[in-house]
Structure formats: C-alpha cells, structure tokens
Structure 1
Amino acid sequence: MSGHRPLRADERAELDWLRDENALLRTERDVLLRLAAGFARDAGAWPARRPAPHDPAR
C-alpha cells in the first residue's frame, strides 16, 4: 500500500455511511424494478414468466 495513509476517523465514518447508503440504494432499485415489472405484467406489456425447460414443476 505504498502512498496510502490510514483513514482519519471522520473519513472512515463517511466511507461507512456511503457504503450503507449504496447498499440501501441498490435494495431500493431492486424493489422498484420488481414492482415495475409487476405493473408491466398486469398491464399486459410484459410477458408472464414461463418455467425454464429444466424446471421439474413443469
């Protein structure tokens, strides 16, 4: 780690906060994508999910 210095306490706190915020935003994005896909399916704009050819429930 040449040229790198340890993070100060305030820098570490900000980095931790940003990582938490990033995780939250990714979760929110995933939820919104699933909701949008559900609305699109309900409106008939998105095909219904079909089982995979190897799906034993088929």
Structure 2
Amino acid sequence: MFTNWRKSTKSLHNPEQCVEVGTAPNATGVRDTKDRDGGLLSFTKERWTDFLAAVKADEFNA
C-alpha cells in the first residue's frame, strides 16, 4: 500500500531513533526503520498536514 519510503531527516543524525515515512494515494505511513515489519501508523493527508504544521510551529516542545 505505502510506497516511496524515506528516512526522516530528523532521524539521520540519531540512528537509534529512526523512522521512515511512506506515501499512498490518500494517506501517509510512518514506521520504525529498525523494525519495518513491526507495524506502522497511518495518517490521512489532512491529519499528516496538520501534524507537520504543529511540528514546524514547535507545538510539541513543552
């Protein structure tokens, strides 16, 4: 279902906490690079866009 998996740029300098992001026509998937068959999180395009906006606005850095 998901294709074009790529490693998160935030993971490049921290190999112990790597995640990959993949795409599908109407969704985005996130999985652990070290356990690619261990399951994934799936987001609608709208939720993924909201998540990225929150990250860029530093809303998770409490």
Give the TM-score normalised by structure 1. 0.27
More helix by share: 1
TM-score, normalisation: structure 2: 0.25
Larger Rg, first or second structure (1 or 2): 1
- Greater relative contact order, per chain length (Cα 8 Å cut-off, separation 6+): 2
Report which of the two has the higher share of strand.
Answer: 2
